[in-house]
Chains A and B, each alone.
Chain A
Amino acid sequence: DIQMTQSPSSLSASVGDRVTISCRASQSITTYLNWYQQKPGKAPKVLIYAASSLQSGVPSRFSGSGSGTDFTLTISSLQPEDFATYYCQQSHSTPRTFGQGTKVEIK
């Protein structure tokens, strides 16, 4: 199974900050990497697919990069509605696996 490791597990940031979340795969997944945002009590929502493609309707302040084993989600200017938990997920192999999540909290 492919293990997905996110860092950090949590972070505190202020509105307007640039935020970066990292995700590492235990083996190469080329660009089969997706990012989700989840708010408490809600289903996850896809933000980025194929490592760097922005899902329709997602604000352009979200961006993704990387290939192989190392990936990054960047929020260019954090907004109040962005405080949530973020997950990476690989769609290269079965079983599909998620990172453990990164909780973005208000500083």
Chain B
Amino acid sequence: EVQLVESGGGLVQPGGSLRLSCAASGFTFSTYWMSWVRQAPGKGLEWVANIKQDGSEIYYVDSVKGRFTISRDNAQNSLFLQMNSLRVEDTAVYYCASQVWGGPFDYWGPGILVTVSS
């Protein structure tokens, strides 16, 4: 059974940092692009970043460029999102999701809440 499980969320003050992790199992993690997608409370879905199978290509939405860093460890079947200089508008549930390039986000984790507030 495919499983993606996020961790590392919580409450942080504006300007602070958090590191999200996503543990994958039940599929060959190293053969998939991986993404982070977020959803602010009561709002729609927003793709945040993705990373190629070997980490050689990485892309970000403009609003997080220079503040967030996506990475992966294929030996540990794990995906990460380092979030620095957090803003109130980064408050959201963050999902990790797998994807085939050009295809849908086919497997999703349950999500983890990040709250940025003073």
Residues of A that sit less than 8 Å from B by CB: 32, 34, 36, 38, 42-46, 49-50, 55, 87, 89, 91-92, 94-101
Contacts and interface: CB of A to CB of B under 8 A. Distances in A.
A32 B50 CA distance: 17
Contacts, number: 56
B114 to A, nearest CB: 15
CB-CB nearest 7 A-B residue pairs:
A34-B104, A43-B108, A96-B47, A49-B104, A98-B45, A46-B104, A94-B59
A62 to B, nearest CB: 14
Contacts of A101: 44-45
Most buried by A among B44, B104, B110: B104
B80 interface: no
A82 B50 CA distance: 30
Given A46-B104, A91-B102, A91-B103, A100 B44 contact: yes
A100 to B, nearest CB: 5
B109 interface: yes
A43 B44 CA distance: 12
B48 to A, nearest CB: 9
A87 B105 CA distance: 12
Interface of chain A: mostly helix, strand, loop or mixed: loop
Nearest to A33: B104
A87 B103 contact: no
B47 A98 contact: yes
B111 A43 contact: yes
A34 to B, nearest CB: 4
A95 B105 contact: no
A77 to B, nearest CB: 24
B105 A89 contact: yes
A55 B103 CA distance: 11
B112 to A, nearest CB: 11
